[in-house]
Chain A
Amino acid sequence: MSADILRDHNAAGKDEGVWVVRPHRGTIFGYLGETWRYRRLFPLLIKYSLSNVYKSSVLGIGWLFIRPIMSALMATLFLKTVLGVSTGPVPYLLFILLSMSFWSMFQRSLTWGTKSIQRNGRLSRHFYFPKIIAHVTAIAPVFIEFGIILFSAVLAGIYFYVTGHFRPDFGLHILAAPLAIVMLLLFVIGLTCVTSPLNSAARDVWYVMRYLMGPLIFITPVYYPRTALPEPWKEYMLFNPLTPILELYRWALFHSEPMRWDALALSGAVILVMLLLGLLFFIKWEPKVLDRA
């Protein structure tokens, strides 16, 4: 048997494979194969993490609406009206709402992902299953907030369309938006595969990350288009792997700024490496984390 742990997954009475429990979780391929066998858990655990997050919050959903819209309005007021940041033909409010939908997805999924092991402790302590499933599904709640901000952006878009301020160019390129989101999520999964086990060992990891978010939003062109920056900085910013993805996302929806495909390819490579390293790290740490859970 190539995989290290094979639990019975056959129909009743037809027990076949011999399973082995060893001090480690085995190779990455074995682990992914095992994950595939447990694929039915994905929808169930997504439901589980959603029901856990918004179980007893009455104000919860309302708050999710208020927070991004307030900060979008504040950003519009200060950055557009006072400082005069230019976003080309795109109305600033629409620009910031879409950028924020992207950023909130990054930030929130990093939060949920980093806390995944902590939150799924009970399941992990009681059942054998590849814990990567619980880890990946733990970030499901971000889609709710993402959807809410996107919905506000769509409302704003309709308003600007009707009033004639902005006519978006709808074409096939709009399909790049989901691609950008997928890239973002893969990046976050790779990153949190490292931070989540670390956070279960030392809770300060999460606090450090929360503080890192502050500077990070400024070196990612969320509040302004990258083209608004002076010359050398415009290029430097592309080294942030989030920048090309965010630009791809906006390019798909506005089609206003030119796309830097070379930077996107680099970013894609970074994401793949991150994902691979993250998975290896996660698999290596899983047993240690379970001992502590």
Chain B
Amino acid sequence: MGWVEIRNVSKMYRRRGTSWFAKIEEMDDDDDDDEVGESPERKEDTHPTGQKEIWALRDINLRINAGDAVAVVGLGGSGKTTLVSILAGITLPTTGEVRGKGAVLPLNFLRTPFFGDATGRQNLAMLESLLGMAKGRILDRAQEIASFAGMERQLDQKVGQYSTSMYAKLSLAAGLFCDPGILLVDDGISGGDPPFRARVAAKLKEVVNQGATLIYATQTVSDLASLCHRVVWLSEGRIIADESANALLPKYEAVCGWQKEDQSSREGEKEELTKEDIQEDNQLGAVHVSRDTFGQAPPSEGKFRLVLQSTWHRKVNNLEKRLQRFVERCRTNSAELTREPATFFRAELGTLARLSDVRVVHSGSRPVFLTNANEPVQVEIEVEVLEPNIEIGLRVELDAMGTLLFASDLPWPFCARSPGRYVLLFSLQEWLTRQQIDTVVDYKIVARTFFRKPANGWEDMDVGTAHICDSGKERVLLTAVANGASLTERIPTWLEEVTPKPSDAERTPLLRPRLDWQIHRIEEVASEESQLSAGSGAREELQEQIV
């Protein structure tokens, strides 16, 4: 009924990084890049105008025949949604073209209602027109659609009175009942209760059997095998594998199966490689990326270092062992795997003061988790005061899984009478206990400083931020020495998948009420005679605390 042909499609987005903060972050990125070594084609290229070019898709060629059911898999940021949007005509490609035949139906985009004041039926009419369909193609079957969604009685009620999932159900049903030529599903099918989802899966199969083409983009592989017979694997905007579902899905699951990885890391990392692991590893070896990461520009001394942000520890099983095997496969002369403390981003704040360093001190064995049990976790914030008598405020934020969990301010700004380095300690453990949080996974701590000269008031407050950008204060370094050419061995996919997390600017912070700050010690490093005081009339109280 419907086919699609994608020819040389690439998609580039421009991102503007104009703010002061974005610039500093870029500088930080550059530092990291130096250590990684220049790869000939990087995902991000800085444009001469300061704009960043992000290639979401690169040279995609794909032919999907009528009646095919194809799964597009890949981790977040691999370009699945962009591909689906281009197929739906919502986003246009930067180069290349897509040809196809048959009504395209992006199933997930139907989910939000448009008229809260209108009834479900009127919204279906809107949907029909928005999809450019012939009159009646959806409306004529409204009754059937409503009964499929189990909403016969609510069809003529106002959508504003629906619950969140009700409209999603109705629109999903509408999409399935309008005889689509090409069905696009992005990020799996969500919404609705389990029985409804089961009905949707059955109906989807029926629609595909009747000849519709299905393109199903997803990160997780559950119930894909029964639905799709072909799998296309995207990574950093490129197709790295295009095989039958039976052959490719196990490999994909081995590399990117989140649930599996999470469970195993909760049970504790396996110390030894088992037979299964080796087998799995061999399978991985068969999956190659299509480009030579180090091939075109071998480092001058035949030496390269690879840095992985350690949030990825838990996502790739036995990372170090795998790295070692990779190095062996590269036929290198020597290979060395070390862990070294991550260097932190430093914020310069003019001539008043600077946030020198922020460290998380763990005594626990597993730095990936923050727990309040038996593992003293402290944040050390080092502030270098360049000019005396400025008031310094501090805030520590804990961000987990991309959400700001809570934030805490220093109750009063502290005031240093003489220049020097000051270390502030903040106990995260107590904080967690008070918040009744047992464990925090995949976290990030951000310390922000606020400076002012008391004479000036808070108007000319300056803000500096320091990130502890990874979970464990460590990153894995792979140093390998090789004879240049032998490093053209392709880098395995699971290394390719190390992508940066979305930047802070893209997240919306969720501010919580301020908690009391526990200052354990304020230590002055540089000069012993210097004095310390608290600003804003809270001096005595603060000094009591210091004692």
Closest to B100 in A: A19
In the complex, which residues of chain A have a beta carbon less than 8 angstroms from the beta carbon of B94? 23
Evaluate contact between A291 and B112: CB separation under 8 angstroms: no
Interface mask (B96-136 → A, CB under 8 Å = 1, otherwise 0) = 11111111101001101011111000000110011111110
Is residue A7 within 8 Å, beta carbon to beta carbon, of the partner chain?
A: yes
Residues of B within 8 A of A20 (CB): 97-100
Which residue of A15, A37, A40, A123 is within 8 Å of B135 (Cβ)?
A40
**CA A125 to CA B94, docked complex, whole Å:** 17
The answer on a CB contact under 8 Å between A21 and B134 is no
Contact between B95 and A23, CB atoms less than 8 A apart: yes
Verify A48–B91 contact, CB threshold 8 A.
no
Whether the pair A12, B129 counts as a contact (CB closer than 8 A) is no
Flag A15-27 by CB within 8 Å of B: 1 or 0 each.
Answer: 1011111111100
A234 adjacent to chain B (CB < 8 Å): no
A4-39 contacts to B (CB < 8 Å): 5, 7-13, 15, 17-25, 37-38
- A155 an interface residue at 8 Å Cβ cutoff? no
Q: Check A290 for interface membership: any CB of B closer than 8 A.
A: yes
- Of A91-99, A126-134, A264-272, which stretch is located at the interface? A126-134
* Cα(A24)–Cα(B95), bound, Å: 9
Number of chain A interface residues as a range: 35 or more
Interface flags for B1-45 (1: CB within 8 Å of A; 0: not) read 110000000000110000000000000000000000000000000
Question: Which of B81-89, B147-155, B239-247, B468-476 contacts its partner?
Answer: B81-89
**Which chain B positions have C-beta within 8 A of A17?**
101
Q: How far is the CA of A17 from the CA of B99 in the complex (A)?
A: 11
Q: Do residues B86 and A21 form an inter-chain contact, with CB atoms below 8 A? A: yes
Contacting B90 at CB < 8 Å: which of A8, A19, A44, A127?
A: A127
* Distance between A289 CB and nearest chain B CB, rounded to angstroms: 11
Contact with A along B157-181 (1 / 0, CB 8 A): 0000000000000000000001101
A37, B132: Cβ atoms closer than 8 Å? yes
Measured between beta carbons, the chain B residues less than 8 angstroms from A67 are none
- With A and B bound together, what is the CA distance between A43 and B181 in angstroms? 27
Give the residue name and chain of the A residue nearest to B3 (CB). A18
Query: For residue B361, which residues in chain A have a CB less than 8 angstroms away from its CB?
Result: none
Contact for A15 among B2, B87, B97, B126, CB less than 8 A: B2
Tell me how far the C-beta of B38 lies from the nearest C-beta in chain A, rounded to whole angstroms: 28
B153 CB to closest chain A CB (Å) equals 24
Please give, as numbers and ranges, the residues of chain A lying within 8 Å of B100 by CB-CB distance.
18-20
Sampled A-B contacts (30; CB under 8 Å): A7-B104, A7-B131, A7-B132, A8-B102, A8-B103, A8-B104, A8-B132, A8-B133, A11-B137, A12-B137, A12-B179, A15-B102, A19-B89, A20-B98, A20-B100, A21-B86, A21-B93, A21-B99, A25-B92, A38-B129, A41-B130, A44-B126, A48-B114, A51-B116, A51-B117, A55-B116, A126-B106, A128-B90, A128-B104, A291-B91
What 8 pairs across the A-B complex have the smallest Cβ distances? Answer: A128-B89, A8-B103, A126-B109, A287-B92, A12-B179, A21-B98, A127-B130, A15-B102
Chain B positions near chain A (C-beta within 8 angstroms): 1-2, 13-14, 86-104, 106, 109-110, 112, 114-118, 125-126, 129-135, 137, 178-179, 181
